[in-house]
Amino acid sequence: MLNFPNPSRIFDTTRRSVRFWGHDSAMEWSFFVTEQALRRLEPTAARDEENLLRVFDTNRAKIHAAAKSAYERERRGFYELGATDF
């Protein structure tokens, strides 16, 4: 079962997304939430790193639910959650 024991997240400037990690037993999976997805969650948020990380933190439960859904649909090396995932 996928869980998120590590609350760490980082802003990936190359992808313009927030990266976080999930674990299923001993396996670790990378997840990316795009800027567009974060703006869908909070349309009025500024587009800078600090505010996008705040949007992530505020919506962590929704983001984890979307990550679990993506993980259950298909196993991949990493997952990118876009606006349509919310």
d(CA 38, CA 45): 8
d(CA 27, CA 43): 34
CATH numbers and ranges of domains, the chain: 2-85 (3.30.160.140)
Q: What is the pLDDT along the chain (86 residues), one digit of tens a residue?
A: 999 999 999 999 999 999 999 999 889 999 999 999 999 999 999 999 999 999 999 999 999 999 999 999 998 889 999 999 99
Supply the pLDDT for residue 75: 87
Q: Which residues contact 86 (CB under 8 A, 6 or more apart)?
A: 37, 40, 41, 62, 66
Supply the pLDDT for residue 61: 98
